[in-house]
Structure formats: structure tokens, C-alpha cells
Amino acid sequence: MSRPLHIEAVQIIQSQASKDTLKNIVRAYLMKLSKLSPGTTITSSSYEDTPELKEHVQSITICDTEHETDVTPNEVELVIHIYTMDQYGAETDTMTDGTSGEEVSAADVWALPADEFHGLWESLIYDGRLKEDTLRYVETALDLTDRGVNPLIVGWSRVVLLHGPPGTGKTSLCRALAQKLAVRLGDRFPRARLIEINAHGLFSKWFSESGKLVAKLFDRVREIASDPRMLCLVLVDEVESLAHARRAAMAGLEPSDALRAVNALLTQLDRLRRLPNALVLATSNLTTAVDVAFVDRADLKRRVGPPAPRAAYEILRGCCEELMARGAVAPRELLFALRILHGSGWAESDHARTSLRLWAVANSAAAAGLSGRALRRLPFLALALHAPRSAQTRTTLLEFIEALSAALKCHLEDEAALLEDEPVTKPQNKNNEIILNGH
């Protein structure tokens, strides 16, 4: 039996065509292509000469979760998802503290699939199968719930915890996962919401009122989840704030209200897990500090680390491709995918020279433990501060890669200087990055 290849097509918001009609049109178009490249998006400029497609479909993404290399349409089973995107952005749920009258931003609520998260999944690159595993875990959990499997016999909790150093894409992965589920499970759940709870905001102040705020917040979450055709994804960011509040309460530094508030949150999350259409995603920067009670509730706990050389190369290659596509680096040149460099035995050749130079930069960045966030910022710093400037000529790809190398060196020097300034007071993670307010 051929393996499935998931295809996600965005329907133009004004289009009135039925999903089934569009599935057929997309399938017919894809079957005519000689190869399909997982992880790529086909935009409407590529199907100008297929008017029925251009009229209704904004873009077609060939998903990368089941296949890594190019495939021919005949060797796979195309599973096509058609969806429209919400354009309105997040709605912030604020609550007023009874004592001080101040407004607290308790949660952001996104209608999914959201325009903001389009392409996020594809932009995240990890070593190993982190993306695939988290997606399969969640799909299996929801499937078991659907079949009515008793969780007391086959235990699962529908809580996912991603932990690791700052800037490694944990929050982004949760958002991307939520978007992916909304798209993939669109037939079963025609509506989906992502509710992002800011644990840090809830527990940093207002301890006297936090318990009430938590209760109010979850009333709202349950109201959303009371619609059985609504997929309800709750993201608890910086979940270590719970443990912090609990410890402070136990040490007598904070009133026992703090403890009650943390317990209220854990109880509410437990109740939520009993709903068949809800799922809890949590992130933490400090693994050791995550509340034990919370860790115990999560049955998928994954450490998300800084990118190793392969992921670092693909992230930087994506940045180069984007800058060449927009003309900021010119002329357009070929950068090989890592598997091609690998296949050629890393042989030096004129064609491979720039790719191999980029591979060297990626290796240095990975050896220094650069986070995904720091890595994504390097191309901008390279262009702004290190690329040769001339009004007449554009930066060539090789010049740009040399500028990337210079930007990396500078970034590491700056970071070392920062650590010298603040040696004692600031907590540091394994990569010697200072944790500033969790960022």
C-alpha cells in the first residue's frame, strides 16, 4: 500500500466552491507534476495556466511529515486538506484584578487556522523527528478518545510538555502544531481555537486574585470547549512560573493564595483533559524548575535543544533562499540541500563551493550552541553590518556567507562580553545565554 502524502491547500476567502470540488481540482493538478517536494509550498504564480485552480486556491503545501525526499505523485496516496484562514489575529482576554482594579492580560485566543501561523510548521527545522513525533502523538490521543478507549486502562493524558533553552522554537512549535491539527482534523472539528495562557503574567502578581482569575479564565475555556465540533487547544507558556509560585508560597514569601492559585490551575487543567475535544500544550525554559505535579501530568515530554549542524544548515539555507528570492542577495545561485551534499560525499567542486562554505558556518554556529532564534537573526546582522556595500552592485551569495561568518563571530564576542558584565546575578542556560525574563 502506498504511503500517504498530506497536501494542505488554502482556499481563497471569497471562493464559494465546495471542498470536494477543490480536492478534485488540486489532485488533478498535482498528478500532472513529475515530482512533489515535501516541505515546499506552490503559490498561485506557478499555476497561472490552470484557471479553475487559480480562481479558488491561494497556495498548496506539500507536507514534510511523512516523506523527506522528492516523490512522484503515483507512488503516494494524496490526502488533500482544503481550508480557509482566519484573518483577524488574536483576541486578548483581559481580566480586572478585584483589589487593584488593574487589567491583567490572561490569555490570547486565536481562531485557527490563522493567517499568522501559515508556513510556521515548515519554517521550523529540528534534528530528529520532533515535529513528526508530536503530531503523531496528538493525532493518536485524539483518535483513541474518539473511539471511546478508556484512559484508565490505556493511560494517556493529552498533555504535551516541551522544555529546553530559550529561543529554541518551543512556543512556535506549539502554535504550528495547533495550526496543523486544525487543518488536518478540519472534517471532524470544523472550528478550532488556540487559547494561549500566559502563566508568567497570571502568577507574577495579583496573588490575592490569581485563584479567581484562573477560575474565570477556565470558565471561558470550557465555554469554548462546550461546542463538541470545536477543537480546543490550550497553550500554557512558561509553565515553570507555577513551580516558582508554589515554592515562594511554601517558603512563606508569598501568601498561601499563591498556592491555591497554582492548585486551581492544575485542577482546571485536569478537568479539561476529560473533554474529548481539548488538548493541553505547555512550554518551559527551565526543565528542573517545572512543577513536579505538572510534569507528572504530561505523557509526552520532549527536550527542544539548539539546532545541531544539519538543522542549522537548513535554517541558514532557507534564509539565503528568501534573500535571493527577494533580490537582497543576487544573482540567484543554487545552494544544495544537505542530503545532496551528503550524497556527493562532500566533494569540493565549483558548484558545491558556496554550499560547503555555508556548511562550515552552520557547523561553527552549532558548536557555539546558537539557539534557533539567534541563528535566524544572523542573516539580518550579516547584511546590516558585515556585507560589502556598494550602490552599483548587490551582495553576492559568497560575500553574504562570509558576512554571515563575520556576524557569527561578532555575536559570540558580544555574548561573551555580556556574560563578563553580569557574572553572578543572572541565571544562565547550558549555552551560556543569559535568561532575561525567560527570553
Residue with the shortest CB distance to ligand ATP: 372
- With a CB cutoff of 8 Å and minimum separation 6, the contacts of 93 are 105, 106, 107, 108, 109, 217, 220
Q: CA 387, CA 402: separation in Å to the nearest integer? A: 8
Nearest residue (CB) to ligand ATP, 281 versus 311? 311
Binding to ligand ATP by CB under 6 A, coded x per residue (else -) over 104-123, reads -------------------x
Among 47, 110, 121, 126, binds ligand ATP (CB under 6 A): 126
In the complex, least distance from residue 126 CB atom to ligand ATP, rounded to whole angstroms: 5
Q: Nearest distance from residue 372's CB to ligand ATP, in Å?
A: 2
Q: Please say which residue, 260 or 373, places its beta carbon nearer to ligand ATP.
A: 373
Site size toward ligand ATP (CB under 6 A) is: 20
The nearest distance, CB 131 to ligand ATP, in angstroms, is 9
Rank residues 170 and 273 by Cβ distance to ligand ATP and give the closer one.
Answer: 170
**Distance of closest approach, residue 82 Cβ to ligand ATP, in angstroms:** 27
For ligand ATP, which residue of 134, 268, 285, 355 counts as binding (CB under 6 A)? Answer: 285
Site for ligand ATP in 315-374 (CB under 6 A): 315, 372-373
Alpha-carbon span 30 to 60, nearest angstrom: 10
Nearest to 304 by CA among 195, 149, 173: 173
150 is written with which cell numbers?
478508556
Distance of CA 11 to the CA centre of its chain: 22
Q: Which is nearer to ligand ATP, 144 or 308 (CB)?
A: 308
Least CB distance from residue 242 to ligand ATP, whole Å? 15
305 part of the interface to ligand ATP, by CB under 6 A = no
Exposed, middle or buried, 5 (CB in 10 Å: 0-12/13-18/19+)?
buried
CB proximity list for 226: less than 8 A, separation 6 or greater? none
Shortest distance, CB of residue 164 to ligand ATP, whole angstroms? 7
Which one of the spans 21-29, 169-177, 336-344, 347-355 is the region binding ligand ATP (CB under 6 A)? 169-177
By CB under 6 A, is residue 171 in contact with ligand ATP?
yes
Q: Which residue, 56 or 317, has its beta carbon nearer to ligand ATP?
A: 317
Cα 40 to Cα 62, 400, 410: the distances in Å are: 6, 24, 33
d(CA 257, CA 240): 18
What is the Cα gyration radius of the chain? 24
According to CB under 6 A, which one of 283, 354, 355, 395 is a site residue for ligand ATP?
A: 283
Nearest to 371 by CA among 131, 166, 122: 166
Q: Rule CB under 6 A: say whether 208 interacts with ligand ATP.
A: no
The three three-digit cell numbers of residue 330, written as one number: 543576487
Q: Where are the beta strands (DSSP E) in 243-390?
A: 278-284, 300-303
Residue 166 touches ligand ATP, criterion: CB under 6 A = yes
Residues 172-191, mask of contacts with ligand ATP (x by CB under 6 A): x-------------------
* CB proximity list for 431: less than 8 A, separation 6 or greater: 165, 306, 368, 369, 370, 371
Of 100-108, 164-172, 274-282, 414-422: span binding ligand ATP (CB under 6 A):
164-172
The footprint of ligand ATP on residues 54-83 (CB under 6 A) is none
CB 376 to ligand ATP: min, Å: 5
Instruction: Tell me which stretch binds ligand ATP (CB under 6 A): 162-170, 197-205, 208-216, 418-426.
Output: 162-170
Task: With CA atoms as reference, report the closest residue to 111 among 188, 174, 191, 190.
Answer: 191
Give the Cα separation of 4 and 386 in Å (integer): 45
**CB nearer to ligand ATP: pick between 50 and 123:** 123
In three-state secondary structure terms, 349 is coil
DSSP state of 352: T
Q: Which is nearer to ligand ATP, 303 or 439 (CB)?
A: 439
CB-CB contact of 242 with 291 (8 Å): yes
In the complex, the residues that contact ligand ATP under the rule CB under 6 A are 123-126, 166-172, 283, 285, 307, 311, 315, 372-373, 376, 439
